[in-house]
Structure 1
Amino acid sequence: METTNLNAICPYFTMFPLDFPLGILESYSEVNQWVLDPFCGRGTTNFAARIYNCPSIGIDSSPVAVALTKAKLVNTKVDQIVRAAKRILSSKTEPVVPDGEFWQHAFDKDVLISICKIREALLKRCDSETRVALRAIMLGALHGPQSTNNPSYFSNQCPRTYAPKPAYAIKFWKERNLKPPKVDVLNIIKKRAERYYGQNLPEGCGFVIKGDSTTNLAFVKAKRILNKYDSKVKIIITSPPYYGMKTYIADQWIRNWFLGGPDVVDYSTKSQIKHSSKEIFINELRKVWNNVCEISSCDAVLAIRFGAINNRKVNPRDIITESLKGTVWEIEKISSAGFAKKGRRQADTFSNSNKEQIEEIDVIALKR
């Protein structure tokens, strides 16, 4: 199998392991069969489809998710990425730089100027595969742990998978007298380009749609794509947000800022699946399964990884079973996916080590 480094280009706290979609594709896929993920997140399903030489479509409401998924489907080379970054950084433009105590503590002044130069250039034009790759490299390097020997991130000490909230971060840095590092932005880009785009991969072929999978619009766009190829989706592999998990946009606020969003935390949940009650959430999922049906083949397979978070006392099996009722999807089997591993599953975001972990499940449903 080809290298899977590219799948780790930007760690994302809601990611499911690559083994899950790879296992489904090994069991059900054939070359050139279309694969869909209506909650594509960081693009793990789409990357797995690329490894299996299958074209794919990803849908997600998060700009970060869309940017990362696109980057896992592009065909570009290390030297092209480095040249693009070098051209941008050598330009004489004076970018707009966010101000405030958080930004002063989070990034060295010159590093932040370089980040903003690249941000503005990519916001003006990001229509080439090389720039799509550069954008994802920047997203992955924006924040993370400091390293004195071999820096890989631009920021002061931070988590890799989510952005810290400003007040907490400022207090944390001040108490420990932590200063933002003066790193070589271009060198970090080069090292990351070599790691993620320096290996041979099957030719990428796929499309990513920014949209809400509970509505029709995203699937109208998907249908247009499929019609061009006279095809339908054969395999759907996905992991919906667990019931009660609503902060996945706010927790990516620095990456959202890089993509053109505000330089403050946005706590709104617009364009996200509704979590106001278990019944509403189930109905939202049912809308997605019905929308998926409209663009899938008569023998399509739906594979779902699902679990729960500790502050919502629900049974994941009951939620998925109920959501599939009244649809064309008939459950073939439900099996244990084990328990959330640290840093790799959605449940881990909300679970503390003293709380009991909730077993996750894998559901296979067939179109009838």
Structure 2
Amino acid sequence: MSVDSLNAVCPYYTMYPLDFPLRVLKEHGKRGDWVIDPFCGRGTTNFAARLLSMPSVGIDSSPVAAALAQAKLASAEPGRVVATARSILKAAKVTTSVPKGEFWKLAYHEKTLLQLCQLREALLTECSSQTRILLRAIILGALHGPRPKGKPSYFSNQSPRTFAPKPNYAVKFWSERDMHPDDVDVVGIIKARSERYLAEPPPNVEGKVQLGDSREADTFSNVPKARFVVTSPPYYGMRTYLPDQWLRLWFLGGPDYVEYRQPEGQLEHTGADHFSSEMGRVWKNVATHSTKGARLIIRYGGIHDREAEPMDVLKASLVDSGWRMVTAKAVPDSDSGRRQVRQFQSEPKKAITEYDVYCHRA
């Protein structure tokens, strides 16, 4: 176990590597500098800042992302997390509402699904303590994933671990292979994961993560002025974040089916110019909440089904934003990481080159 184990609490297919924000903040920052990530995703920048004793603020419009990022700033002993899970299940009512249908029947054993629903209901009612925030993240990480040959480490039938299986495809897949969900030890899985991720806690550092829309100025009303903004915004055309995380979204209070509509608070992908303009609103907001001499560092790339050149989209977003672009460096391993261009079951095309873009406050 290591001090950075908590960063792996839940996979997220758009995550960027921890070494990116760590390197940037080590090279240019110092202990105590405030850091903002207005597209924080699962909180990698916030966690890097925590490791370096730098306070941070993370903002994301996805409930899944915000829940995971909040866990990156929390601390609790493994035993307390397990005890909380046991206490919830012991006190739970049998009448808990359980989703119905072929997908749910094949995705989870009946007993497992009931316990997940009991945990879900309790955490939806109260999840303000650090112990419960970490328990929630640990459950989200174990909610779906592959079935190992040995002891189960996920609650579900065979599934991807980074994104939720789509119901029709999953039912067909499981039925054709006669695959049925195991009666897993829910508390045992929580215990194993708690001990893995929480055995060596990182330093306690001031910070917060909030669910919100970074385009809106009010989102930053209580945000301290930061010396660094380190982030990776959505690539133009990537708009399936919530549908691809629908099971984790369900656990956080969402519907028990996939919703494909564009949710409120998400950047709109109706055109490259509009997308750049909307992203520019975010850069203006973080400029207002940054110190003199602050730096904005952005990792950015693109996907293959959009004709717009990614760097053109990003450069347009920086016009009159309060930031001046200084340099852009190609990421040498763009194709090796699991980034926004690499998802679903099929073999992805060669990744479009990603860039680390460095800006100074104008």
Which digits, 9 at most, give the CA deviation of each residue in 1:155-195, with x for residues without a partner?
00000000011001000100111111111000000000001
Other-structure match for 2:260? 267
- Counterpart check, 1:152 vs 2:145: no
Residue type at the aligned position of 2:229: I
Q: For structure 1, which segment, 292-301 or 202-211, has the greater mean C-alpha deviation from structure 2 after superposition?
A: 202-211
Distance 1:351 1:183 in 2: 25
Other-structure match for 2:314? 320
Contact persistence 1:253–1:264 (CA under 8 A):
yes
What is the CA distance between 1:341 and its match in structure 2?
4.1
Contact persistence 1:342–1:348 (CA under 8 A):
no
Which digits, 9 at most, give the CA deviation of each residue in 1:217-237, with x for residues without a partner?
211242xxx2xxxxx101000
Other-structure match for 2:113? 112
Residue type at the aligned position of 2:99: P
The within-5 A match list for 1:94-133 is 94=94, 95-133=96-134
Contact persistence 1:74–1:204 (CA under 8 A):
no
Other-structure match for 1:15? 15
> How many correspondences in the alignment?
360
Other-structure match for 1:234? 227
- SS where residue 262 of structure 1 aligns? coil
The within-5 A match list for 1:184-203 is 184-203=185-204
- Counterpart check, 1:297 vs 2:298: no
What is the CA distance between 1:60 and its match in structure 2?
0.3
Other-structure match for 2:49? 49
**Structure 2 residue ranges without an equivalent (≥5):** none
What is the CA distance between 1:357 and its match in structure 2?
2.3
What is the CA distance between 1:266 and its match in structure 2?
1.4
Residue type at the aligned position of 2:191: K
Of 273, 280, 283, the residue aligned with 2:277 is: 283
What is the CA distance between 1:331 and its match in structure 2?
1.1
Other-structure match for 2:93? 93
Q: For structure 1, which segment, 309-318 or 28-37, has the greater mean C-alpha deviation from structure 2 after superposition?
A: 309-318
Which digits, 9 at most, give the CA deviation of each residue in 1:80-131, with x for residues without a partner?
1011011011124121111111100000000001111110110111111000
What is the CA distance between 1:241 and its match in structure 2?
0.5
Other-structure match for 1:30? 30
Other-structure match for 1:359? 353
Other-structure match for 2:60? 60
Which digits, 9 at most, give the CA deviation of each residue in 1:328-365, with x for residues without a partner?
21111100013534562111127954633211111000
- Counterpart check, 1:143 vs 2:137: no
Residue type at the aligned position of 2:237: G
- Report the CA distance shift for 1:203/1:328 in structure 2 as closer, same or farther (over 3 A): same
Residue type at the aligned position of 2:210: I
- Report the CA distance shift for 1:156/1:350 in structure 2 as closer, same or farther (over 3 A): closer
Residue type at the aligned position of 1:178: M
- SS where residue 348 of structure 1 aligns? coil
Distance 1:2 1:188 in 2: 20
- Report the CA distance shift for 1:355/1:75 in structure 2 as closer, same or farther (over 3 A): closer
- Report the CA distance shift for 1:350/1:158 in structure 2 as closer, same or farther (over 3 A): closer
- SS where residue 235 of structure 1 aligns? strand
TM value normalised by structure 1: 0.95
Contact persistence 1:57–1:208 (CA under 8 A):
yes
Q: For structure 1, which segment, 310-319 or 64-73, has the greater mean C-alpha deviation from structure 2 after superposition?
A: 310-319
Q: Which runs of 4+ in 1 moved over 4 A?
A: none
The within-5 A match list for 1:245-264 is 245-264=238-257
Of 337, 340, 343, the residue aligned with 1:346 is: 340
What is the CA distance between 1:200 and its match in structure 2?
3.2
- Report the CA distance shift for 1:313/1:136 in structure 2 as closer, same or farther (over 3 A): same
Distance 2:36 2:285 in 1: 12
Other-structure match for 2:236? 243
Q: For structure 1, which segment, 106-115 or 314-323, has the greater mean C-alpha deviation from structure 2 after superposition?
A: 314-323
Distance 2:325 2:262 in 1: 31
TM value normalised by structure 2: 0.96
Distance 2:271 2:82 in 1: 48
Distance 1:74 1:354 in 2: 35
Residue type at the aligned position of 1:115: L
Distance 2:113 2:288 in 1: 46
- Report the CA distance shift for 1:142/1:90 in structure 2 as closer, same or farther (over 3 A): same
Residue type at the aligned position of 2:227: K
